[in-house]
Amino acid sequence: MEYRTEKDSLGEVRVPAGKLWGAQTERSLENFPIGEEKMPREIIAALALIKKVCACVNLSLGVLDEERKTLICRVCDSILAGNFEGEFPLSVWQTGSGTQTNMNLNEVIANSGNRLAGKPLLHPNDHVNRSQSSNDTFPTALHLAFATVIRKKLEPALQGMIAELGRLEAENRDVITMGRTHLQDAVPLSFAQEIGSWKAMVERSLDAIRSSSDGLLDLALGGTAVGTGLNAPKGFGEAVAKELAKETGMPFRSAKNKFRALAARDDVAFAHGALKTLAADLLKIANDIRWLASGPRCGLGEITLPANEPGSSIMPGKVNPTQCEALSMVALQVMGNDAAVGFAASQGNFQLNVYLPLLAYNCLQSANLLADAVASFTARCLAGLKPNRRKMEENLNRSLMLVTALSPKIGYDKAAEIAKTAHQNGTSLREEALKSGELTAEEFDELTDPRKMI
């Protein structure tokens, strides 16, 4: 392999000749050979957009010339278009400020721009990183990337799930099924009411995500190294936030207190907490559905799920609730991520939190996994979910808990005795109720009509 020599403040470094990165990126590759987790592509894109917008604002504020601004914007647009594959190779497990990833972008943009210009016009620090510090660009990239994935990927997926659950709810209003509490028979409800509870859970989680992610719209840019804004022109942070809002169509704003914006990651922890709440709801829904679909003959068997693939390598004809299982695993991953996010957010020291790459990795993984899993579950499970009306009616008619409707007429104790006797004798409630002499056949039929109980 051929190499070229690059320099930074520590001296000379050999860099592969075909790569656009510079000395600091190469040092990071050498010093952090840890794991296989690379910086998320959303962070790279967010930083490229930040560099582009900063160049434009620097020009408007008189601290960067037109030629350099144009070169920076041209390269950033190319990065945003998906080019420069393989030029952003750094591990998540690097400096906690994300400095090396910030410099990776600065170096690639500078070297690429210089090649386009045919002369050394751009310096990674003096021009591409002008008016910035890693300490304000990386938190800004984290907020920008996390908020964007939530708004443009996760929220639409949840809206799709809500719509599908709404369709199922409307189609099953006439279906009566057994309620269950403590995994035991309870009183009847409509299947639409059960589905409606799932829909309301997702709707509530979506509301929580929207409200909790508002803090992500506050951006740290303009704070530079510690929050004072040293080396940034007056109004820089506000101007950058305004331009980022235009570029993204999202109402980003400059954080009022830049010291908090660098030192605290409470907005990120709060937003991720709403993702954990969603994960808890999704796990509950997935478990309900796979319980109801259990069987098909030796379980509840009250619903059928799409047969998307063979379920067993040894048992022919077996079909498993695989979408429920995938959604459940994603939910648990998000819950685990939330523990790491909470710990990381608590560990800011003085003027900077230095767990930023971990926060970026976990938050973006959670948001992307939830969005993908919700979309898959909606299309490949909910869309094909069908009630087994015969089985629901059979279970309903066999239930002892219809006796609950007799309590106002004959009292709790007598109703309990009828249910107990029917269970012990393997007889029906109706048979034992009539034997008791407490009710006539007409009274029993009137009181235990499931449609009147829901």
- Give me 319's structure tokens: 């079909």
Tell me the C-alpha distance between 376 and 309, whole Å: 14
Q: What sign does the CA torsion over 426, 427, 433, 434 have?
A: negative
CA distance 341 to 382: 31
Catalytic pick from 182, 211, 313, 423?
Answer: 182
Residue 316: cis peptide before it, omega within 30 degrees of 0: no
Our answer to whether residue 312 is catalytic in this structure is yes
Question: In this structure, are residues 209 and 282 in contact, taking their beta carbons and an 8 Å threshold?
Answer: no
Q: If DSSP codes are grouped into helix, strand and coil, which group holds residue 177?
A: strand
Q: Which of 183, 194, 174, 171 is nearest to 393 (CA)?
A: 174
Catalytic (active site) residue 272: no
> Cα separation of 42 and 148, whole Å?
9
Which tokens hold the place of 382? 């909910």
Element (H, E) at 179: strand 176-181
Name the residue type at position 345: A
Contact of 144 with 248, CB cutoff 8 Å: yes
Catalytic residue (choose from 211, 312, 346, 423):
312
Residues 6+ apart with CB under 8 A from 130: 54, 55, 58, 63, 64
Answer yes or no: are the C-beta atoms of 220 and 262 closer than 8 Å: yes
Query: CA 300, CA 302: separation in Å to the nearest integer?
Result: 6
245 phi, psi to nearest 5 deg: -60, -40
Instruction: Give catalytic residue positions.
Output: 182, 312
